[in-house]
Amino acid sequence: MTDVRAGSSGPAGAPGGTAEAARPAAVTGRAASPAASPDAAGPALAVSTTGLTKRFRGGQVAVDHIDLAVPRGSVYGFLGPNGSGKTTTIRMLLGLAFPTSGQAELLGVPMPQGAIQVLPHVGSLIEGPAFYPFLNGRDNLARCDAADRTADPRTAADRINTALDRVGLLAAAGKRYRNYSLGMKQRLAIAAGLLTPRQLIVLDEPTNGLDPQGTREVRGLIREIAADGITVFVSSHLLAEVEQVCSHVGVMRTGRLVFQGPLEELRRTGAARIRIETTDPAVAADVLRKIGLPDPQIAGDEVTAPLTDFSPERICADLVHAGVGVRGLGVVTPSLEELFVGLTGEGFDVDG
């Protein structure tokens, strides 16, 4: 299933020359995933981790035993407030930081050992764009391309132009990076991720600091990338910014993965509640309790309770029957945003 091979056909020498040499033997035969579909090439998971943990020198646990499973071809929203461990996780996935314990695999190749082997197939934007301010956009991309030992120098100029064109920077290619707007910088970083054909694109906070227009552009780019069959792993602290493009989400809270699955599954976890506007909230709560709704909550002249299996019509009839003056009645389903906030906690409660 897993067919990553370090070729020995090259005249350059035998594999395994340095500490960074890829170790393909360790990869072969590794169980990719029970859900591997027969038509999918390679492992079914583009990113997978088991018990991935990062403890900083001070003892602080930034990432705490997370088990990521990012299906191939998905757009995976990696969500969580600032400081919840998203960037540290991404740094470990890309081999920039070394995990304290646990394993990580990109496209079925263990990281960080397989970095040299697998990273050419992975485009990334890590914690904001970073380029040389004294070079223009094109020269900056040329620099990235020159560092890639798998990139063909003969096609470099074409590939750079294509990538620039794709993010709409062709006209500004000759401008120094120093003079780029934030949105242009962000797009240049995405262009760098598209220089060569990729199977996975990792975008860490791609909409950070962008205006709504820029955010929309980035979302459009993500859609286009995903339409090409490339797996997109996109982190954000704002669900609203990515929910329109994501097929799957993982939610982080203080270093732990508190939810992971298809977006629909997250939506389903949101239980509908009945909301009754009434002149006698206390009596209404009694009625709800009597017919079997758990734990009704009174807030002002409103009573709410989990709807469970009851039909709103029947509840309404029961209330009227008990002589409760019903002014309004409705079923409320929590928005994705509310579910997200429920998972990650409200505001500034990220503990250090």
Partner 1 sequence: MAEATVIESPAAGPGPAAARVPVGHARAWLRFFRSELRQVFLRRRNQMLLGVTALFPILIGVGLRLASHPHGGGGGGGLSFVTQLTGNGIFLSFIALTILLTLVMPVVVAVVAGDSIAGEAGYGTLRYLLAVPAGRTRLLAVKYSVIVVFALAVTFTVTGVALATGAALFPIGPVTLLSGTTVSLAEGILRLVLVSLYVAAAMASLGAIGLAISTLTEHAIGAIAGLAIFVVASEVADQVPQFAVIQPYLPTHWWNSFDALLRAPIDSGTLLKGLLSFAVYLVIFGSFAWARFTTADVTS
Nearer to partner 1, 143 or 327 (CB): 143
Q: In what order do the strands lie in the sheet with 200-204?
A: 122-125, 200-204, 231-236, 75-79, 248-253, 256-262
Q: Is 86 in the site for partner 1 (CB under 8 A)?
A: no
Q: N- to C-terminal Cα distance for the chain? A: 42
Query: In this chain, which stretch among 74-82, 160-168, 192-200, 266-274 interacts with partner 1, using CB under 8 A?
Result: 192-200
Contact residue for partner 1 among 79, 119, 303, 305 (CB under 8 A) = 119
Contact residue for partner 1 among 15, 168, 261, 270 (CB under 8 A) = 15
Contact residue for partner 1 among 10, 58, 294, 300 (CB under 8 A) = 10
d(CA 47, CA 311): 42
- The H or E element spanning position 16 is none
Least gap, CB of 13 to partner 1 (angstroms): 4
Looking only at residues 212 through 241 of this chain, which bind partner 1 when binding is defined by CB under 8 A?
A: 228-230
Q: Is 18 in the site for partner 1 (CB under 8 A)?
A: yes
Q: Is 20 in the site for partner 1 (CB under 8 A)?
A: yes
Q: String of b and e for 256-275 (b: at least 16 CB within 10 Å)? A: ebbbbeebeebeeeeeebbb
Least gap, CB of 236 to partner 1 (angstroms): 19
193 within 8 A of 123, measured Cβ to Cβ: yes
Cβ neighbours of residue 85 under 8 Å, at least 6 residues apart? 54, 62, 63, 64, 66, 252, 254, 255, 256
Distance of alpha carbon 113 from the chain centroid: 23
Least gap, CB of 125 to partner 1 (angstroms): 9
Q: Is 8 in the site for partner 1 (CB under 8 A)?
A: yes
Q: Is 312 in the site for partner 1 (CB under 8 A)?
A: no
Question: Residues 256, 261, 263, 268: what is their CA dihedral angle, to the nearest 10 degrees?
Answer: -100
Beta bridge mates, 124: 202
Contact residue for partner 1 among 49, 78, 91, 340 (CB under 8 A) = 91
**Cα Rg of the chain, angstroms:** 25
Q: Is 122 in the site for partner 1 (CB under 8 A)?
A: yes
- Which 3 state secondary structure label does DSSP give 281? helix
Least gap, CB of 292 to partner 1 (angstroms): 53
- Which tokens is 285 given? 């709560």
Least gap, CB of 221 to partner 1 (angstroms): 16
Contact residue for partner 1 among 50, 61, 65, 128 (CB under 8 A) = 128
Contact residue for partner 1 among 53, 124, 186, 344 (CB under 8 A) = 124
- How big is the chain, counted in residues? 352
Q: Is 83 in the site for partner 1 (CB under 8 A)?
A: no
Q: Is 197 in the site for partner 1 (CB under 8 A)?
A: yes
Contact residue for partner 1 among 30, 55, 61, 151 (CB under 8 A) = 151
d(CA 290, CA 321): 13
Contact residue for partner 1 among 26, 132, 211, 349 (CB under 8 A) = 132
Least gap, CB of 282 to partner 1 (angstroms): 57
- Which 3 state secondary structure label does DSSP give 203? strand
Q: Is 107 in the site for partner 1 (CB under 8 A)?
A: yes
Q: Is 174 in the site for partner 1 (CB under 8 A)?
A: no
- What amino acid is encoded at 93 in this protein? L
- The H or E element spanning position 189 is helix 182-193
Cβ-based burial of 100 (10 A; exposed 0-12, middle 13-18, buried ≥19): middle
Interacting residue ranges for partner 1, rule: CB under 8 A: 2-22, 41-43, 91, 94-98, 107-109, 115-122, 124, 126-128, 130-134, 142-144, 146-153, 189, 192, 196-199, 228-230
